[in-house]
Amino acid sequence: MWAPEAELKNLMLAGLDGDAAAHRSLLTSLSNYLRAYYRRQLGRIGRSATDAEDLVQEALLAIHTRRYTYDPVEPLTPWVHAIARYKLIDHLRRTRTSLRDVPIDEAPDLIAEGDHDDTESTHDLGKLLGQLPEKTRRVIEYVKLEGLSVAETASRCGLSESNVKVSVHRGLRALAAAIARERQQ
């Protein structure tokens, strides 16, 4: 019945060990489930697909930047579902929507269906990056957008490799925080 669980968990475990292809394919699968989930949940209270896409991206960022909170002895779906639901409720709170209409849902609801119809979110990556400190922004651009290796980025920016890794991690979390701030306004 929970067919995707085993497959998703394998991708997650490989991603935790640094397998980029597995990680990408995990995020792609999850984004489809998340999209269907948020459209269903927001549809019930008359919200748009753009709102849903915003939430998909916030949830993906949270999943990525906090993936060390996943305990490998546990199934993956409840972990993802807990993040998805937390971000949903947080979003509704920020936009001052009544939480009374949010139905209780369980982990299997998250992977009940997928939705590939990727629309644009309102988040503007360029603008969000512009809010980061100069050093962090450059490191993110080199490592995460241009795909330069950590070693190369380190020598270009005159930083140590561990410094680059920390900056990437901080930068992504700062991006997630910038998105959350944007929403509050």
Sign of the torsion formed by the C-alpha atoms of 40, 175, 146 and 143: negative
- C-alpha distances in Å from residue 21, one per residue of 26, 61, 142, 171: 9, 17, 19, 22
81 part of the interface to other proteins, by CB under 8 A: yes
CB atoms within 10 A of CB 15: 20
DSSP structural state of residue 147: -
Residue 38 interacting with other proteins (CB under 8 A): no
Separation between Cα atoms, residue 125 and residue 36, nearest integer Å? 23
Number of residues that bind other proteins (CB under 8 A): 55
The mark string for 123-162 relative to other proteins (x by CB under 8 A, - otherwise) is xxx-----------------xxx-xxxx------------
45 part of the interface to other proteins, by CB under 8 A: no
Question: Of the two residues 14 and 97, which places its CB atom closer to other proteins in the complex?
Answer: 14
For other proteins, the binding residue among 10, 50, 74, 133 (CB under 8 A) is 74
Does 111 help bind other proteins (rule: CB under 8 A)?
A: no
Question: Taking contact as CB under 8 A, which single stretch among the options 1-9, 36-44, 95-103, 168-176 is the one that binds other proteins?
Answer: 168-176
**Least Å from the CB of residue 46 to other proteins:** 22
Please state, in angstroms and rounded to a whole number, the distance separating the CA atoms of residues 98 and 89. Answer: 10
Region from 37-45, 75-83, 97-105, 130-138 binding other proteins, contact rule CB under 8 A: 75-83
Q: Measured in whole angstroms, how far is the alpha carbon of residue 183 from the centre of its chain?
A: 16
Q: How many C-alpha atoms does 145 have within 13 Å on its Cβ side?
A: 12
- Dihedral over Cα of 136, 140, 146, 150: its sign: positive
- 115 SS3 class: coil
* Site residues, other proteins (CB under 8 A): 15-21, 23-24, 27-28, 31, 35, 53, 56-57, 60-62, 64, 66-72, 74, 78-83, 85-86, 90, 107, 118, 120-121, 123-125, 143-145, 147-150, 165, 168-169, 172
